[in-house]
C-alpha cells in the first residue's frame, strides 16, 4: 500500500465526520497506553488510537508517554530507559496492566484493523536510533493503517525518508513559535500537521487544507469543540473519550478501514 493510499485511510471522506482516535487509547476510561485502553477506544466506536513510543535500556521500543511510570512492587517508580525489555515484561502498572511494546501493538493493529497514530518521543537517549528501529518494525509490519508523528523535526524527516509508504505528521503545541513558520513541514517530508487544539481557527484549518495537508487535532474532549472542528473540515480528532465525541458527531461509514467500523443507517 502506497503512502497516498495509507493517507486516505486517515483523511475524512466528503460528507462524513472526522475520524476519531483514542488519545493513548480511551484514557478517560482505562489506563493510558495499555491494551485495555486501546480495546476500550475501539469498543467506544473510535476508528483507532494514538500512542507514544519510548526506548528501553536495551534499545527496545516501549509504549509510554513518560519515561517514569508507577508500578506495583517495592519500587513504585521506575524509569523505562533504565530497564531492559525482560525487566519491563515483569512489571505491572498500578492499574494491573502490563507495559506494551511497539511490536506487540503492531500485531494488535493487524488483528483489529484499527488505525494507529504512532508518536515518537524526542526526549529519549537516542532519538535517531528510536526512529530507525521504529521504521524497521513498521516496514516489517507493512505499514497499512499506520501514521507516524513527532515534535522532533529530525525524527519527522528521518522517518519520512525511511518509510515511503507510511504518512508522517509534524506535531506542534502552543509553546512553539514554529506554528507561524509551518510552510517548511513539507520540506521534512511530512504530509500531515498535528496541532494542539488551542492553536487552530477556521482560517488556519483552511490554510492547511488548501495545501492538501491532513489535519489531526489534539486533544479534543469537548463536544462543542468537536462539532466546530468538524465544520471546519479537520480530518482526525484525538480524544481521551471517543464516546463523548461520537455522541454528537454520530457514526461514520467507511468503505475500508478498521474492522470494528460502525455503519450509518
Q: Quick one: pLDDT band at residue 252, thresholds 50, 70, 90?
A: low
Going from N- to C-terminal start, the domains of the chain cover 3-52+106-247
Convert the pLDDT of each residue in 31-63 to its tens digit: 999 999 999 999 999 999 999 999 999 999 999
Examine the pLDDT at 261 and tell me if it is beyond 90. Answer: no
pLDDT at residue number 31: 98
The three-state secondary structure class of 168 is strand
Element (H, E) at 132: helix 127-141
Residue matched to cell numbers 492538501? 212
Convert the pLDDT of each residue in 104-140 to its tens digit: 999 999 999 999 999 999 999 999 999 999 999 999 9
Q: Answer for the pair 234, 215: CB distance below 8 angstroms, yes or no.
A: yes
pLDDT at residue number 116: 98
- Nearest-Å Rg of the Cα atoms of the chain is 17
- Domain 3-52+106-247 falls in which CATH fold? TIM Barrel (3.20.20)
Between 175 and 136, name the one with better pLDDT.
136
pLDDT at residue number 175: 81
Examine the pLDDT at 181 and tell me if it is beyond 80. Answer: no
- The gap from C-alpha 209 to its chain's centroid, in whole angstroms, comes to 20
The three-state secondary structure class of 54 is strand
Question: Minimal CA–CA distance to 137: which of 160, 104, 112?
Answer: 104
Convert the pLDDT of each residue in 189-222 to its tens digit: 999 999 999 999 999 999 999 999 999 999 999 9
The rounded distance, in Å, linking the Cα atoms of 155 and 6 is: 19
Range of lowest pLDDT (69-73, 174-178, 225-229): 174-178
pLDDT at residue number 183: 58
Q: Which cell numbers hold the place of 2?
A: 502506497
Indicate the average pLDDT of the chain. 92
pLDDT at residue number 171: 94
pLDDT at residue number 39: 98
- The gap from C-alpha 7 to its chain's centroid, in whole angstroms, comes to 14
Examine the pLDDT at 256 and tell me if it is beyond 60. Answer: no
pLDDT at residue number 178: 59
Q: What is the mean pLDDT of residues 166-175?
A: 92
The rounded distance, in Å, linking the Cα atoms of 53 and 105 is: 11
Examine the pLDDT at 242 and tell me if it is beyond 60. Answer: yes
- Please, which contacts does 103-109 make with residues 24 or more away whose CB atoms are closer than 8 Å? 103/61, 103/137, 104/35, 105/38, 105/51, 105/63, 106/137, 106/138, 106/141, 106/146, 108/35, 108/38, 109/141, 109/145, 109/146
Give whole-number Cα distances, 183 to 57, 167, 188, 191, 206, in Å. 37, 17, 10, 11, 14
Amino acid at each position: 500500500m502506497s503512502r497516498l493510499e495509507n493517507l486516505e485511510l486517515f483523511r475524512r471522506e466528503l460528507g462524513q465526520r472526522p475520524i476519531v482516535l483514542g488519545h493513548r487509547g480511551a484514557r478517560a476510561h482505562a489506563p493510558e497506553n495499555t491494551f485495555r485502553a486501546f480495546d476500550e477506544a475501539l469498543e467506544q466506536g473510535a476508528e483507532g488510537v494514538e500512542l507514544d513510543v519510548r526506548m528501553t535500556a536495551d534499545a527496545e521500543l516501549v509504549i509510554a508517554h513518560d519515561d517514569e511510570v508507577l508500578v506495583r512492587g517495592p519500587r513504585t517508580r521506575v524509569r523505562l530507559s533504565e530497564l531492559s525489555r525482560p525487566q519491563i515484561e515483569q512489571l505491572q502498572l498500578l492499574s494491573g496492566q502490563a507495559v506494551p511494546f511497539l511490536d506487540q501493538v503492531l500485531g494488535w493493529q493487524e488483528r483489529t484493523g484499527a488505525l494507529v497514530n504512532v508518536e515518537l518521543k524526542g526526549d529519549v537517549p537516542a532519538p535517531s536510533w528510536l526512529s530507525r528501529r521504529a521504521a524497521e518494525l513498521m516496514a516489517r509490519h507493512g505499514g497499512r493503517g499506520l501514521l507516524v508523528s513527532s515534535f522532533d523535526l529530525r525524527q519527522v524527516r528521518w522517518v519520512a525518508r525511511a518509510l515511503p509508504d507510511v504518512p508522517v505528521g509534524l506535531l506542534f503545541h502552543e509553546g512553539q513559535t514554529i506554528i507561524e513558520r509551518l510552510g517548511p513541514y513539507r520540506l521534512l517530508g511530512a504530509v500531515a500537521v498535528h496541532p494542539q487544539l488551542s492553536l487552530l481557527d477556521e482560517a488556519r484549518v483552511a490554510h492547511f487544507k488548501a495545501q492538501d495537508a491532513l489535519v489531526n487535532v489534539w486533544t479534543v474532549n469537548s463536544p462543542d469543540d468537536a462539532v466546530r472542528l468538524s465544520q471546519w473540515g479537520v480530518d482526525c480528532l484525538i480524544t481521551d473519550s471517543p464516546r463523548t465525541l461520537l455522541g454528537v458527531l454520530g457514526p461514520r461509514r467507511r468503505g475500508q478501514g478498521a474492522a470494528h467500523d460502525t455503519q450509518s443507517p
